């Protein structure tokens, strides 16, 4: 299944992307499903979606012209992995890490997959990072690698937009990666029965020019390892996000740099998970 949230920003409704120009309106049929949030994932929400697909009185809306929001409601945390592709670590002048580098993005930075990316007033060096993200489906604490994928609700594309000057100046990455709109998600949350995370093309474009093109198979720390590593000392709740890192080719590491400016169009995507398109304003 491909889960979506559609409608006006801040008032999105949960839906299922049918792939034929229609969106199944979940709340029109199941009033108790408020949103794709922690409660939904923790209480067998995905199993209920399968039943809705078979319901003869299911209600659909025309997908044409409908705004898609981020495919999940605000999670309790967004955990990101730095330098998880060796070539990206090298282009930034970092040593290849022996264990994952973790940081977080502000949940208030979450943005829809086709919403504009808004440059903050102090913006100087801003670019994006195409990433495969994992959404947790059930509480995970001290999960073993071999059981890790049982805790996954699905996968989505995520753009880790970053202001590099602020990132480097603060001595930590949170503020430079946490500005409003700096975390476009989606368009879909794709359930694990439709896609596996270990062999997916990850790509990014700036004004139609491809900057990033790699495969999730190139990650040094794969999804099962990351879930095990993070959950060893930090409980992951349903709906939490782990963004698995970006491949090489980001704009700020190029010579000359390719940076976000007003009017630019930023596209990122992950094979099987859909693509984003964001105008910079």
Instruction: Give the model's confidence band at 97: pLDDT under 50 very low, under 70 low, under 90 confident, else very high.
Output: confident
Cβ-based burial of 62 (10 A; exposed 0-12, middle 13-18, buried ≥19): exposed
Q: What is the mean pLDDT of residues 6-14?
A: 97
pLDDT tens-digit readout, 15-63 = 999 999 999 999 999 999 999 999 999 999 999 999 999 999 999 999 9
Q: Map out the domains of the chain as residue ranges.
A: 2-69, 78-279
Q: What is the DSSP string of 201-226?
A: EEEEEETTEEEEEEEGGGBSS-HHHH
User: What's the mean pLDDT in 81-108?
Assistant: 85
pLDDT of 87 above 90: no
Q: Are 202 and 243 in contact (CB under 8 A)?
A: no
Rounded average pLDDT over 219-229: 97
Q: Could you say which DSSP state residue 158 is in?
A: E
pLDDT over 90, % of the chain: 91
pLDDT at 20 (0 to 100)? 97
pLDDT bucket at 96, cuts 50 / 70 / 90: confident
101-105 long-range contacts, Cβ below 8 Å, gap at least 24? 102/230, 103/79, 103/172, 103/173, 103/174, 103/177, 104/77, 104/78, 104/79, 104/80, 104/174, 105/78, 105/80, 105/160, 105/174, 105/177, 105/178, 105/182, 105/183, 105/243
Per residue in 150-195, pLDDT (tens digit) is: 999 999 999 999 999 999 897 889 999 999 999 999 999 999 999 9
Average pLDDT over the chain, rounded to an integer: 95
Top-confidence residue, 235 or 88: 235
- Of residues 94 and 238, more confidence is placed in 238
Domain 78-279 fold is: Fumarylacetoacetate hydrolase; domain 2 (3.90.850)
- Checking if the pLDDT of 109 tops 90, the result is yes
- Smallest CA-to-CA distance from 142 within 227, 244, 41 is with 227
Instruction: Please say if the pLDDT value at position 219 is more than 90.
Output: yes
> Closest Cα to residue 52, out of 20, 21, 27?
27
Q: Check pLDDT > 70 for residue 92.
A: no
Does the model's pTM come out above 0.85?
Answer: yes
Higher pLDDT, 65 or 272: 272
169 or 262: whose pLDDT is higher? Answer: 262
pLDDT of residue 63: 97
pLDDT for residue 89: 67
């Amino acid at each position: 299944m491909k889960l979506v949230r559609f409608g006006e920003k801040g008032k999105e409704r949960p839906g299922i992307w049918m792939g034929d120009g229609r969106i199944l309106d979940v709340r029109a049929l199941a009033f108790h499903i408020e949103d794709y949030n922690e409660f939904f994932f923790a209480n067998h929400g995905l199993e209920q979606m399968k039943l809705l697909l078979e319901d003869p009185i299911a209600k659909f809306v025309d997908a044409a012209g409908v705004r898609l929001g981020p495919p999940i409601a605000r999670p309790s945390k967004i955990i990101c992995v730095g330098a998880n592709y060796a070539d990206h670590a090298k282009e930034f002048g970092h040593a290849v890490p022996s264990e994952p580098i973790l940081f977080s993005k502000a949940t208030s930075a979450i943005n829809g997959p086709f919403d504009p990316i808004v440059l903050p007033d102090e913006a100087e060096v801003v670019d994006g990072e195409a990433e495969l993200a994992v959404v947790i489906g059930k509480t995970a604490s001290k999960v073993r690698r071999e059981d890790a994928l049982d805790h996954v609700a699905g996968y989505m594309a995520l753009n880790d937009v970053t202001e590099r000057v602020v990132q480097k100046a603060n001595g930590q990455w949170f503020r430079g990666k946490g500005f409003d709109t700096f975390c476009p998600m989606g368009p879909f949350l794709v359930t694990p029965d439709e896609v596996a995370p270990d062999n997916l093309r990850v790509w990014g474009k700036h004004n139609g020019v491809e900057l990033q093109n790699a495969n999730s198979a190139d990650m040094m720390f794969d999804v099962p390892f990351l879930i095990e590593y993070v959950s060893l000392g930090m409980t992951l709740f349903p709906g939490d996000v782990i963004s698995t890192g970006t491949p090489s080719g980001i704009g700020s590491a190029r010579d000359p740099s390719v940076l976000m400016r007003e009017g630019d169009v930023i596209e990122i995507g992950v094979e099987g998970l859909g693509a984003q398109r964001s105008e910079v304003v």
